[in-house]
Protein backbone atom coordinates (compact mmCIF):
# COMPACT_ATOMS: atom_id res chain seq x y z
CA UNK A 1 0.00 0.00 0.00
CA UNK A 2 1.34 3.44 -0.96
CA UNK A 3 0.69 6.41 1.37
CA UNK A 4 1.58 10.08 0.87
CA UNK A 5 1.98 12.68 3.65
CA UNK A 6 1.51 16.10 2.03
CA UNK A 7 2.14 19.41 3.83
CA UNK A 8 4.18 22.51 3.01
CA UNK A 9 5.36 22.51 6.65
CA UNK A 10 8.36 20.16 6.73
CA UNK A 11 8.23 19.75 10.52
CA UNK A 12 4.58 18.61 10.38
CA UNK A 13 5.44 15.99 7.78
CA UNK A 14 8.39 14.78 9.87
CA UNK A 15 6.24 14.49 13.02
CA UNK A 16 3.58 12.43 11.22
CA UNK A 17 6.11 10.16 9.50
CA UNK A 18 8.03 9.45 12.72
CA UNK A 19 5.09 8.96 15.10
CA UNK A 20 2.94 6.48 13.15
CA UNK A 21 3.69 2.74 12.95
CA UNK A 22 2.98 2.52 9.22
CA UNK A 23 3.55 -1.25 9.01
CA UNK A 24 0.58 -1.70 11.32
CA UNK A 25 -1.61 -0.18 8.61
CA UNK A 26 -0.17 -2.35 5.84
CA UNK A 27 1.90 0.44 4.26
CA UNK A 28 5.00 -0.67 2.40
CA UNK A 29 5.63 2.73 0.78
CA UNK A 30 5.26 6.04 2.67
CA UNK A 31 6.51 9.20 0.98
CA UNK A 32 6.71 12.87 2.07
CA UNK A 33 5.49 15.61 -0.28
CA UNK A 34 5.71 19.35 0.29
CA UNK A 35 3.43 20.61 -2.50
CA UNK A 36 0.63 19.46 -4.77
CA UNK A 37 2.80 19.21 -7.89
CA UNK A 38 5.13 16.60 -6.39
CA UNK A 39 2.16 14.67 -5.00
CA UNK A 40 0.55 14.43 -8.45
CA UNK A 41 3.66 12.67 -9.78
CA UNK A 42 3.13 9.83 -7.31
CA UNK A 43 -0.50 9.55 -8.38
CA UNK A 44 0.51 9.33 -12.03
CA UNK A 45 3.36 6.90 -11.35
CA UNK A 46 1.65 3.90 -9.77
CA UNK A 47 -1.24 5.44 -7.86
CA UNK A 48 -1.79 6.25 -4.18
CA UNK A 49 -4.09 4.40 -1.77
CA UNK A 50 -4.12 6.95 1.09
CA UNK A 51 -3.18 10.64 1.14
CA UNK A 52 -2.72 12.49 4.45
CA UNK A 53 -2.96 16.04 3.17
CA UNK A 54 -2.99 19.60 4.55
CA UNK A 55 -5.95 21.62 3.25
CA UNK A 56 -4.33 25.05 3.14
CA UNK A 57 -1.05 25.21 1.15
CA UNK A 58 0.38 28.12 -0.85
CA UNK A 59 0.87 26.24 -4.16
CA UNK A 60 -2.53 24.57 -4.39
CA UNK A 61 -4.88 23.40 -1.65
CA UNK A 62 -5.57 19.86 -0.54
CA UNK A 63 -9.12 20.23 -1.84
CA UNK A 64 -7.70 21.06 -5.28
CA UNK A 65 -5.72 17.81 -5.19
CA UNK A 66 -8.82 15.86 -4.09
CA UNK A 67 -10.90 17.30 -6.92
CA UNK A 68 -8.12 16.59 -9.44
CA UNK A 69 -7.76 12.99 -8.21
CA UNK A 70 -11.50 12.32 -8.51
CA UNK A 71 -11.61 13.82 -12.00
CA UNK A 72 -8.72 11.53 -12.99
CA UNK A 73 -10.56 8.52 -11.58
CA UNK A 74 -8.35 7.88 -8.56
CA UNK A 75 -10.20 6.35 -5.58
CA UNK A 76 -7.54 7.47 -3.10
CA UNK A 77 -8.67 7.87 0.54
CA UNK A 78 -7.98 11.47 1.64
CA UNK A 79 -7.42 12.37 5.31
CA UNK A 80 -7.23 16.15 5.62
CA UNK A 81 -5.16 18.15 8.11
CA UNK A 82 -6.67 21.50 8.99
CA UNK A 83 -6.28 24.23 11.59
CA UNK A 84 -9.91 25.35 11.15
CA UNK A 85 -13.21 23.47 11.00
CA UNK A 86 -14.87 25.34 8.12
CA UNK A 87 -18.19 24.37 6.58
CA UNK A 88 -17.12 25.20 3.01
CA UNK A 89 -14.12 22.90 3.38
CA UNK A 90 -16.27 20.12 4.83
CA UNK A 91 -18.89 20.52 2.12
CA UNK A 92 -16.29 20.17 -0.68
CA UNK A 93 -14.62 17.23 1.09
CA UNK A 94 -17.94 15.38 1.39
CA UNK A 95 -18.82 16.07 -2.24
CA UNK A 96 -15.57 14.46 -3.40
CA UNK A 97 -15.73 11.60 -0.86
CA UNK A 98 -12.89 12.40 1.54
CA UNK A 99 -12.27 9.73 4.16
CA UNK A 100 -11.98 12.14 7.12
CA UNK A 101 -10.03 14.99 8.65
CA UNK A 102 -7.82 15.71 11.69
CA UNK A 103 -7.62 19.13 13.30
CA UNK A 104 -4.09 20.44 13.96
CA UNK A 105 -1.94 20.27 16.04
CA UNK A 106 -1.07 16.65 15.30
CA UNK A 107 -2.68 14.10 17.64
CA UNK A 108 -1.47 10.53 17.19
CA UNK A 109 -4.66 8.80 18.43
CA UNK A 110 -6.93 10.86 16.16
CA UNK A 111 -4.68 10.25 13.17
CA UNK A 112 -4.56 6.50 13.79
CA UNK A 113 -8.35 6.39 14.14
CA UNK A 114 -8.74 8.06 10.73
CA UNK A 115 -6.10 5.76 9.22
CA UNK A 116 -8.03 2.71 10.41
CA UNK A 117 -11.14 3.99 8.64
CA UNK A 118 -9.17 4.83 5.50
CA UNK A 119 -7.52 1.40 5.40
CA UNK A 120 -10.93 -0.23 5.82
CA UNK A 121 -12.26 1.84 2.92
CA UNK A 122 -9.24 0.88 0.79
CA UNK A 123 -9.82 -2.77 1.63
CA UNK A 124 -13.50 -2.49 0.77
CA UNK A 125 -12.63 -0.87 -2.52
CA UNK A 126 -9.98 -3.47 -3.21
CA UNK A 127 -12.39 -6.29 -2.40
CA UNK A 128 -15.02 -4.70 -4.61
CA UNK A 129 -12.63 -4.30 -7.53
CA UNK A 130 -11.39 -7.86 -7.20
CA UNK A 131 -14.94 -9.18 -7.04
CA UNK A 132 -16.12 -7.46 -10.22
CA UNK A 133 -13.02 -8.61 -12.13
CA UNK A 134 -13.94 -12.29 -11.87
CA UNK A 135 -16.75 -13.12 -14.24
CA UNK A 136 -16.98 -16.72 -13.00
CA UNK A 137 -18.01 -15.36 -9.55
CA UNK A 138 -20.37 -12.75 -10.98
CA UNK A 139 -23.36 -13.53 -8.78
CA UNK A 140 -21.26 -13.67 -5.63
CA UNK A 141 -19.56 -10.44 -6.63
CA UNK A 142 -22.88 -8.69 -7.20
CA UNK A 143 -24.12 -9.85 -3.80
CA UNK A 144 -20.95 -8.54 -2.17
CA UNK A 145 -21.15 -5.24 -4.03
CA UNK A 146 -24.76 -4.82 -2.92
CA UNK A 147 -23.80 -5.54 0.68
CA UNK A 148 -20.85 -3.13 0.49
CA UNK A 149 -23.12 -0.51 -1.05
CA UNK A 150 -25.66 -0.85 1.79
CA UNK A 151 -22.91 -0.67 4.42
CA UNK A 152 -21.50 2.46 2.81
CA UNK A 153 -24.97 4.00 2.73
CA UNK A 154 -25.55 3.23 6.40
CA UNK A 155 -22.08 4.47 7.39
CA UNK A 156 -22.55 7.79 5.55
CA UNK A 157 -19.80 7.04 3.00
CA UNK A 158 -22.29 7.94 0.25
CA UNK A 159 -24.04 11.35 0.43
CA UNK A 160 -27.67 11.15 1.53
CA UNK A 161 -29.34 12.38 -1.62
CA UNK A 162 -31.31 10.58 -4.32
CA UNK A 163 -28.98 11.80 -7.06
CA UNK A 164 -25.81 10.70 -5.24
CA UNK A 165 -27.23 7.25 -4.52
CA UNK A 166 -28.32 6.71 -8.11
CA UNK A 167 -24.92 7.85 -9.36
CA UNK A 168 -23.11 5.48 -6.98
CA UNK A 169 -25.34 2.59 -8.05
CA UNK A 170 -24.44 3.33 -11.64
CA UNK A 171 -20.71 3.33 -10.80
CA UNK A 172 -21.00 0.00 -9.02
CA UNK A 173 -23.20 -1.48 -11.76
CA UNK A 174 -26.00 -2.23 -9.31
CA UNK A 175 -29.50 -3.03 -10.46
CA UNK A 176 -31.42 -2.24 -7.28
CA UNK A 177 -34.90 -0.78 -7.06
CA UNK A 178 -33.75 2.55 -5.69
CA UNK A 179 -37.28 3.93 -5.45
CA UNK A 180 -38.47 0.95 -3.43
CA UNK A 181 -38.43 1.46 0.37
CA UNK A 182 -36.32 -0.66 2.70
CA UNK A 183 -36.66 -1.32 6.43
CA UNK A 184 -33.75 -1.07 8.86
CA UNK A 185 -33.45 -3.21 12.01
CA UNK A 186 -30.78 -2.16 14.54
CA UNK A 187 -29.51 -4.67 17.12
CA UNK A 188 -27.75 -3.12 20.14
CA UNK A 189 -25.34 -5.59 21.79
CA UNK A 190 -23.92 -3.17 24.34
CA UNK A 191 -20.36 -2.09 25.03
CA UNK A 192 -17.44 -3.82 23.33
CA UNK A 193 -15.49 -4.27 26.57
CA UNK A 194 -18.44 -6.11 28.18
CA UNK A 195 -18.65 -8.43 25.16
CA UNK A 196 -14.90 -9.09 25.36
CA UNK A 197 -15.27 -10.11 29.00
CA UNK A 198 -17.57 -12.94 27.88
CA UNK A 199 -16.12 -13.85 24.47
CA UNK A 200 -12.48 -12.64 24.61
CA UNK A 201 -12.79 -11.69 20.92
CA UNK A 202 -15.61 -9.35 19.90
CA UNK A 203 -15.50 -10.58 16.30
CA UNK A 204 -16.43 -14.12 17.37
CA UNK A 205 -19.52 -12.86 19.17
CA UNK A 206 -20.54 -10.58 16.31
CA UNK A 207 -20.20 -13.42 13.79
CA UNK A 208 -22.34 -15.67 15.99
CA UNK A 209 -24.98 -12.94 16.42
CA UNK A 210 -25.09 -12.25 12.68
CA UNK A 211 -25.56 -15.97 11.97
CA UNK A 212 -28.38 -16.18 14.52
CA UNK A 213 -30.11 -13.06 13.15
CA UNK A 214 -29.79 -14.25 9.54
CA UNK A 215 -31.18 -17.69 10.39
CA UNK A 216 -34.23 -16.17 12.10
CA UNK A 217 -34.92 -13.56 9.43
CA UNK A 218 -34.22 -15.47 6.22
CA UNK A 219 -36.59 -18.25 7.16
CA UNK A 220 -39.59 -15.94 7.06
CA UNK A 221 -38.67 -12.59 5.47
CA UNK A 222 -36.70 -11.30 2.43
CA UNK A 223 -33.36 -10.20 3.91
CA UNK A 224 -30.96 -8.00 1.95
CA UNK A 225 -27.97 -7.72 4.30
CA UNK A 226 -26.73 -7.92 7.92
CA UNK A 227 -23.55 -6.05 8.85
CA UNK A 228 -21.65 -4.91 11.94
CA UNK A 229 -21.22 -1.28 12.97
CA UNK A 230 -19.26 0.15 15.93
CA UNK A 231 -20.21 3.53 17.35
CA UNK A 232 -18.97 5.11 20.58
CA UNK A 233 -17.55 1.76 21.82
CA UNK A 234 -20.90 -0.01 21.27
CA UNK A 235 -21.45 -2.99 18.97
CA UNK A 236 -24.43 -2.69 16.64
CA UNK A 237 -25.68 -5.13 14.03
CA UNK A 238 -27.80 -3.66 11.24
CA UNK A 239 -30.20 -5.70 9.10
CA UNK A 240 -31.71 -4.27 5.90
CA UNK A 241 -34.95 -5.82 4.66
CA UNK A 242 -37.54 -5.01 2.00
CA UNK A 243 -39.75 -2.12 3.04
CA UNK A 244 -42.93 -4.18 2.64
CA UNK A 245 -41.77 -6.85 5.12
CA UNK A 246 -44.58 -7.77 7.50
CA UNK A 247 -44.13 -5.50 10.52
CA UNK A 248 -45.81 -7.75 13.10
CA UNK A 249 -43.85 -10.78 11.90
CA UNK A 250 -40.65 -8.73 12.09
CA UNK A 251 -41.47 -7.68 15.67
CA UNK A 252 -42.15 -11.31 16.56
CA UNK A 253 -38.73 -12.34 15.18
CA UNK A 254 -37.07 -9.43 17.01
CA UNK A 255 -38.61 -10.49 20.32
CA UNK A 256 -37.44 -14.04 19.68
CA UNK A 257 -33.92 -12.75 19.11
CA UNK A 258 -34.04 -10.85 22.42
CA UNK A 259 -35.01 -14.09 24.19
CA UNK A 260 -32.40 -16.28 22.47
CA UNK A 261 -29.26 -14.12 22.75
CA UNK A 262 -28.89 -14.24 26.57
CA UNK A 263 -29.27 -18.04 26.45
CA UNK A 264 -27.19 -18.87 23.39
CA UNK A 265 -24.69 -15.98 23.29
CA UNK A 266 -24.56 -15.00 27.00
CA UNK A 267 -25.28 -11.39 26.06
CA UNK A 268 -28.65 -9.57 26.01
CA UNK A 269 -29.57 -7.39 23.02
CA UNK A 270 -32.15 -4.69 22.34
CA UNK A 271 -33.73 -4.46 18.89
CA UNK A 272 -35.08 -1.32 17.20
CA UNK A 273 -37.28 -1.46 14.11
CA UNK A 274 -37.34 1.63 11.87
CA UNK A 275 -40.14 2.88 9.68
CA UNK A 276 -39.70 2.11 5.95
CA UNK A 277 -37.32 4.54 4.23
CA UNK A 278 -35.65 5.06 0.86
CA UNK A 279 -32.04 4.04 0.30
CA UNK A 280 -30.78 7.62 0.48
CA UNK A 281 -32.45 7.96 3.90
CA UNK A 282 -30.69 4.90 5.37
CA UNK A 283 -27.88 6.81 7.10
CA UNK A 284 -30.28 9.28 8.76
CA UNK A 285 -32.56 6.42 9.80
CA UNK A 286 -29.61 4.65 11.40
CA UNK A 287 -28.66 7.79 13.31
CA UNK A 288 -32.21 8.08 14.67
CA UNK A 289 -32.25 4.46 15.85
CA UNK A 290 -28.83 4.85 17.52
CA UNK A 291 -30.08 7.96 19.32
CA UNK A 292 -33.18 6.08 20.52
CA UNK A 293 -30.96 3.22 21.65
CA UNK A 294 -28.60 5.51 23.60
CA UNK A 295 -31.55 7.22 25.26
CA UNK A 296 -33.07 3.89 26.37
CA UNK A 297 -31.58 3.41 29.83
CA UNK A 298 -34.42 1.48 31.49
CA UNK A 299 -35.94 -1.03 29.04
CA UNK A 300 -32.99 -3.09 27.84
CA UNK A 301 -33.33 -6.54 26.29
CA UNK A 302 -36.57 -5.80 24.39
CA UNK A 303 -37.75 -5.06 20.86
CA UNK A 304 -39.19 -1.66 19.89
CA UNK A 305 -40.63 0.10 16.90
CA UNK A 306 -39.20 3.50 16.08
CA UNK A 307 -42.50 5.18 16.90
CA UNK A 308 -42.95 3.45 20.28
CA UNK A 309 -43.19 6.02 23.11
CA UNK A 310 -40.25 4.80 25.21
CA UNK A 311 -40.32 7.98 27.29
CA UNK A 312 -43.20 10.01 28.59
CA UNK A 313 -42.77 13.61 29.64
CA UNK A 314 -41.22 13.86 33.09
CA UNK A 315 -43.07 16.14 35.48
CA UNK A 316 -39.84 17.99 36.20
CA UNK A 317 -37.38 18.05 39.06
CA UNK A 318 -34.61 15.62 39.96
CA UNK A 319 -34.84 11.86 40.14
CA UNK A 320 -33.10 12.01 43.52
CA UNK A 321 -33.31 14.57 46.31
CA UNK A 322 -29.83 16.06 46.95
CA UNK A 323 -30.54 16.76 50.65
CA UNK A 324 -31.61 13.14 51.15
CA UNK A 325 -28.35 11.93 49.57
CA UNK A 326 -26.22 14.16 51.79
CA UNK A 327 -28.16 13.18 54.92
CA UNK A 328 -27.75 9.43 54.32
CA UNK A 329 -24.05 9.87 53.56
CA UNK A 330 -23.51 11.97 56.68
CA UNK A 331 -25.12 9.20 58.74
CA UNK A 332 -23.07 6.66 56.74
CA UNK A 333 -26.11 4.60 55.87
CA UNK A 334 -24.80 3.00 52.67
CA UNK A 335 -27.48 0.30 52.48
CA UNK A 336 -30.31 2.79 52.96
CA UNK A 337 -28.84 5.15 50.33
CA UNK A 338 -28.56 2.36 47.75
CA UNK A 339 -32.11 1.17 48.45
CA UNK A 340 -33.43 4.73 48.16
CA UNK A 341 -31.70 5.31 44.80
CA UNK A 342 -32.78 1.94 43.41
CA UNK A 343 -36.43 2.49 44.39
CA UNK A 344 -36.59 6.01 42.90
CA UNK A 345 -34.95 5.01 39.60
CA UNK A 346 -36.96 1.82 39.13
CA UNK A 347 -40.17 3.67 40.01
CA UNK A 348 -39.42 6.34 37.38
CA UNK A 349 -38.47 3.66 34.85
CA UNK A 350 -41.75 1.84 35.39
CA UNK A 351 -43.61 5.07 34.58
CA UNK A 352 -41.44 5.67 31.50
CA UNK A 353 -40.04 8.87 33.00
CA UNK A 354 -36.32 8.19 32.89
CA UNK A 355 -33.83 8.73 30.05
CA UNK A 356 -30.10 9.34 29.64
CA UNK A 357 -30.40 13.02 30.54
CA UNK A 358 -32.19 12.30 33.82
CA UNK A 359 -29.63 9.61 34.67
CA UNK A 360 -26.79 12.06 34.02
CA UNK A 361 -28.48 14.56 36.36
CA UNK A 362 -28.87 11.85 39.01
CA UNK A 363 -25.21 10.91 38.67
CA UNK A 364 -24.23 14.57 39.08
CA UNK A 365 -26.37 14.91 42.23
CA UNK A 366 -24.85 11.75 43.67
CA UNK A 367 -21.30 12.77 42.83
CA UNK A 368 -21.78 16.22 44.37
CA UNK A 369 -23.11 14.63 47.57
CA UNK A 370 -20.21 12.18 47.71
CA UNK A 371 -17.67 14.95 47.00
CA UNK A 372 -19.03 17.12 49.83
CA UNK A 373 -18.98 14.12 52.20
CA UNK A 374 -15.38 13.21 51.33
CA UNK A 375 -14.15 16.81 51.39
CA UNK A 376 -15.57 17.33 54.85
CA UNK A 377 -13.25 14.54 56.01
CA UNK A 378 -10.22 15.77 54.07
CA UNK A 379 -10.39 13.06 51.38
CA UNK A 380 -9.60 13.97 47.76
CA UNK A 381 -12.29 12.23 45.71
CA UNK A 382 -10.49 12.34 42.36
CA UNK A 383 -7.41 10.65 43.81
CA UNK A 384 -9.53 8.06 45.63
CA UNK A 385 -11.33 7.09 42.42
CA UNK A 386 -8.51 7.37 39.87
CA UNK A 387 -8.02 3.63 39.29
CA UNK A 388 -9.03 2.29 35.81
CA UNK A 389 -11.73 0.08 37.33
CA UNK A 390 -13.46 3.14 38.81
CA UNK A 391 -13.12 5.27 35.68
CA UNK A 392 -14.68 2.48 33.57
CA UNK A 393 -17.67 2.29 35.93
CA UNK A 394 -17.97 6.07 35.92
CA UNK A 395 -17.88 6.25 32.10
CA UNK A 396 -20.82 3.83 31.80
CA UNK A 397 -22.79 4.97 34.87
CA UNK A 398 -25.51 6.80 32.91
CA UNK A 399 -25.96 4.10 30.25
CA UNK A 400 -28.65 2.23 32.18
CA UNK A 401 -30.25 1.99 35.61
CA UNK A 402 -28.27 -1.21 36.20
CA UNK A 403 -24.97 0.51 35.31
CA UNK A 404 -25.87 3.40 37.60
CA UNK A 405 -26.49 1.05 40.54
CA UNK A 406 -23.22 -0.80 39.91
CA UNK A 407 -21.31 2.49 39.93
CA UNK A 408 -23.13 3.79 43.00
CA UNK A 409 -22.60 0.61 45.04
CA UNK A 410 -18.84 0.79 44.50
CA UNK A 411 -18.47 4.54 45.04
CA UNK A 412 -20.66 4.78 48.16
CA UNK A 413 -19.10 1.73 49.83
CA UNK A 414 -15.57 2.91 49.05
CA UNK A 415 -16.26 6.47 50.25
CA UNK A 416 -17.76 5.52 53.61
CA UNK A 417 -15.22 2.79 54.38
CA UNK A 418 -12.29 5.07 53.55
CA UNK A 419 -13.61 7.91 55.72
CA UNK A 420 -13.92 5.50 58.62
CA UNK A 421 -10.34 4.40 58.02
CA UNK A 422 -9.13 8.01 57.91
CA UNK A 423 -10.77 8.80 61.23
CA UNK A 424 -8.29 6.51 62.94
CA UNK A 425 -5.56 9.16 62.99
CA UNK A 426 -2.94 6.61 64.12
CA UNK A 427 -3.34 4.75 60.83
CA UNK A 428 -3.00 8.00 58.82
CA UNK A 429 0.24 8.96 60.58
CA UNK A 430 1.66 5.47 60.25
CA UNK A 431 0.80 5.27 56.54
CA UNK A 432 2.32 8.71 55.98
CA UNK A 433 5.51 7.67 57.76
CA UNK A 434 5.70 4.47 55.72
CA UNK A 435 5.40 6.45 52.48
CA UNK A 436 8.04 8.99 53.59
CA UNK A 437 10.43 6.23 54.70
CA UNK A 438 10.18 4.68 51.23
CA UNK A 439 10.41 7.92 49.22
CA UNK A 440 12.37 10.52 51.25
CA UNK A 441 15.28 10.36 48.77
CA UNK A 442 12.94 11.72 46.11
CA UNK A 443 11.67 15.28 45.65
CA UNK A 444 8.58 14.93 47.87
CA UNK A 445 6.52 17.35 49.92
CA UNK A 446 3.39 16.94 52.00
CA UNK A 447 1.39 17.17 48.74
CA UNK A 448 2.82 13.87 47.44
CA UNK A 449 2.42 12.23 50.86
CA UNK A 450 -1.23 13.31 51.08
CA UNK A 451 -1.92 12.15 47.52
CA UNK A 452 -0.65 8.65 48.40
CA UNK A 453 -3.36 8.54 51.09
CA UNK A 454 -6.03 10.26 48.91
CA UNK A 455 -6.20 13.07 51.46
CA UNK A 456 -6.25 16.84 51.34
CA UNK A 457 -2.66 18.06 52.15
CA UNK A 458 -3.80 20.46 54.90
CA UNK A 459 -6.00 17.83 56.53
CA UNK A 460 -3.28 15.16 56.41
CA UNK A 461 -0.64 17.54 57.79
CA UNK A 462 -2.90 18.48 60.69
CA UNK A 463 -3.51 14.85 61.66
CA UNK A 464 0.19 14.00 61.27
CA UNK A 465 1.37 16.79 63.56
CA UNK A 466 -1.31 16.00 66.12
CA UNK A 467 -0.18 12.39 66.30
CA UNK A 468 3.62 12.79 65.98
CA UNK A 469 4.27 16.24 67.40
CA UNK A 470 6.24 17.35 64.33
CA UNK A 471 5.37 18.55 60.85
CA UNK A 472 5.52 16.40 57.74
CA UNK A 473 8.32 18.57 56.38
CA UNK A 474 10.37 18.08 59.56
CA UNK A 475 9.87 14.31 59.46
CA UNK A 476 11.09 14.19 55.86
CA UNK A 477 14.16 16.23 56.86
CA UNK A 478 14.85 13.97 59.87
CA UNK A 479 14.74 10.87 57.67
CA UNK A 480 17.16 12.44 55.23
CA UNK A 481 19.59 13.52 57.96
CA UNK A 482 19.65 10.05 59.55
CA UNK A 483 20.39 8.50 56.18
CA UNK A 484 23.10 11.10 55.53
CA UNK A 485 24.79 10.22 58.84
CA UNK A 486 24.97 6.58 57.80
CA UNK A 487 26.39 7.41 54.39
CA UNK A 488 29.00 9.82 55.82
CA UNK A 489 30.46 7.03 57.92
CA UNK A 490 32.02 5.48 54.81
CA UNK A 491 35.77 6.29 54.47
CA UNK A 492 35.85 7.06 50.71
CA UNK A 493 32.48 8.78 50.37
CA UNK A 494 32.06 12.03 48.37
CA UNK A 495 30.12 14.58 50.40
CA UNK A 496 28.33 16.05 47.35
CA UNK A 497 27.05 12.60 46.39
CA UNK A 498 25.60 12.10 49.88
CA UNK A 499 23.48 15.22 49.42
CA UNK A 500 22.06 13.91 46.16
CA UNK A 501 21.45 10.44 47.59
CA UNK A 502 19.24 11.81 50.35
CA UNK A 503 17.21 14.08 48.05
CA UNK A 504 19.07 17.42 47.85
CA UNK A 505 20.34 18.93 44.61
CA UNK A 506 21.60 22.03 46.40
CA UNK A 507 24.70 21.12 48.48
CA UNK A 508 24.72 24.42 50.40
CA UNK A 509 21.12 23.89 51.53
CA UNK A 510 21.93 20.31 52.56
CA UNK A 511 24.93 21.52 54.59
CA UNK A 512 22.80 24.13 56.35
CA UNK A 513 20.16 21.58 57.33
CA UNK A 514 22.77 19.03 58.40
CA UNK A 515 24.56 21.53 60.62
CA UNK A 516 21.24 22.55 62.16
CA UNK A 517 20.48 18.90 62.94
CA UNK A 518 23.92 17.83 64.21
CA UNK A 519 25.84 20.96 65.13
CA UNK A 520 28.49 20.07 62.53
CA UNK A 521 28.93 20.44 58.78
CA UNK A 522 28.83 17.22 56.71
CA UNK A 523 32.64 17.46 56.21
CA UNK A 524 33.26 17.87 59.94
CA UNK A 525 30.95 14.96 60.74
CA UNK A 526 32.64 12.73 58.18
CA UNK A 527 36.15 13.60 59.39
CA UNK A 528 35.12 12.96 62.98
CA UNK A 529 33.86 9.47 62.18
CA UNK A 530 36.83 8.56 59.98
CA UNK A 531 39.43 9.80 62.47
CA UNK A 532 37.84 7.92 65.35
pLDDT value at residue 250 = 93
CATH architecture of residue range(s) 139-305: 2-Layer Sandwich (3.30)
Instruction: Give the pLDDT band (50/70/90) at residue 138.
Output: low
Is 487 exposed, middle or buried, given 0-12, 13-18 or 19+ CB atoms closer than 10 A? middle
SS (HEC) of 38-94: HHHHHHHCCCCCEEEEECCCCCCCHHHHHHHHHHCCCCCEEEEEECCCCHHHHHHHH
The more confidently predicted of residues 45 and 138 is 45
Q: Would you tell me the crossing angle of helices 322-330 and 334-350 to the nearest 10 degrees?
A: 160
State which fold the 2-127 domain adopts. Answer: Rossmann fold (3.40.50)
User: Taking residues 410-415, what's their average pLDDT?
Assistant: 90
Instruction: Give the pLDDT band (50/70/90) at residue 304.
Output: very high
Across the chain, which distance is largest between two alpha carbons, in Å? 103
The DSSP letter of residue 440 is T
pLDDT value at residue 483 = 93
CA distance 393 to 375: 22
- Let me know: does 5 contact 30? Beta carbons within 8 Å: yes
pLDDT tens-place string over residues 224-262: 788 888 888 899 999 999 888 899 999 999 999 999 999
CATH of domain 425-531: 1.10.10.60
Percent of the chain topping pLDDT 70: 93
Per-residue pLDDT for 47 more than 50? yes
Per-residue pLDDT for 376 more than 80? yes
Per-residue pLDDT for 314 more than 50? no
User: Taking residues 133-148, what's their average pLDDT?
Assistant: 66
| pTM as predicted | 0.52
pLDDT tens-place string over residues 462-495: 889 988 899 999 999 999 999 999 999 888 888 8
pLDDT value at residue 87 = 47
pLDDT value at residue 38 = 92
Amino acid sequence: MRILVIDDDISTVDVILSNIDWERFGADEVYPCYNIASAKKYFENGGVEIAVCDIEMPMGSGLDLLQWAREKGYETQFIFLTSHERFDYANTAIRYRASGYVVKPFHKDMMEEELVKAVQNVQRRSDYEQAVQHEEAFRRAIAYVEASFLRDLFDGQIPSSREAVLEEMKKRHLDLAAERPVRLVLIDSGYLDAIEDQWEETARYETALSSLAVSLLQERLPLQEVFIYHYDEISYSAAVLDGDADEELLMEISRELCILTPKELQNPVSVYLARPCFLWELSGTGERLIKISRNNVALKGRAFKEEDPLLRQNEGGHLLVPDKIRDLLTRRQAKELLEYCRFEMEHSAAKGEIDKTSLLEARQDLWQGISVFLDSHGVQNRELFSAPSYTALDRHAADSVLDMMRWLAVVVTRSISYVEEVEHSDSVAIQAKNYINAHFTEDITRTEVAASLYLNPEYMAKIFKKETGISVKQYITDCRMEKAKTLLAARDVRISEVAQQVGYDNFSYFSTLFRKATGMTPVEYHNMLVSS
